[in-house]
Amino acid sequence: MAKEHDYTCRIDWTGNRGDGTRTYRGYDRTWDVVTPGKPTIHCSNDPLLGGDPTLPNPEDLFLASLSSCHMLWYLHLASSAKIVVHRYTDDPLGVGEVHADGSGQFLRATLRPAIVVAEGTDIPQAEAIHHEVHRYCFIARSVNFPVTYSPTFEIAVG
């Protein structure tokens, strides 16, 4: 039987320069993500849309969520398969498009994890786990675009 989980946060717009949204260029595209008991994340819009390039934007956070969820399930499934992972990093690539009217969407994402595994690891088995993760990851199961995987593996020395 399925069990529901609630996730909450507060999005607090911080970009009011004093006149609110009176003019299109008169406010900042900044906000904070506040989750009870956790550090605040200061965010901005994509720089192409007038945002601060030094702050995460929704697309950054979305791609990071997809990659993080995949990583956590990969580690879980690897552990269950007795595959010892010593290090996992990912440099995911999300490809989006923006339409003439300003709307947009992600077209696809490629997760590109670099994984260091213990000596003697069955690399084909370690790679196959990536294709099982989508059955479990909340984020991957919720997107409407293809997510592919291009992992690399390295054997830990010593």
pLDDT computed for residue 31 by the predictor: 96
**Residue 1 CA to its chain's centroid (Å):** 28
- What is the C-alpha to C-alpha distance for residues 105 and 127, in angstroms, rounded to an integer? 29
pLDDT computed for residue 48 by the predictor: 82
The answer on pLDDT for 65 being more than 80 is yes
pLDDT cut 70: percent of the chain above it: 100
Mean pLDDT of 41-64: 93
Confidence label for 10 from pLDDT (cuts 50, 70 and 90): very high
Confidence label for 47 from pLDDT (cuts 50, 70 and 90): confident
- The SS3 of residue 65 is helix
Residue whose C-alpha is closest to residue 46's, from 35, 25, 32, 61: 61
Mean pLDDT of 49-72: 94
Mean pLDDT of 9-22: 94
* C-alpha distances in Å from residue 27, one per residue of 11, 22, 49, 101, 130: 16, 8, 13, 21, 43
The shares of helix, strand and coil residues in the chain, as percent rounded to the nearest 5, are 25, 30, 45
Return the sign of the alpha-carbon dihedral for residues 78, 80, 81, 82.
positive
pLDDT tens per residue across span 105-145:
999 999 999 999 999 999 999 999 999 999 999 999 999 99
- What is the C-alpha to C-alpha distance for residues 138 and 132, in angstroms, rounded to an integer? 13
- The SS3 of residue 2 is coil
The answer on pLDDT for 50 being more than 90 is no
- What is the C-alpha to C-alpha distance for residues 99 and 73, in angstroms, rounded to an integer? 34
pLDDT computed for residue 158 by the predictor: 73
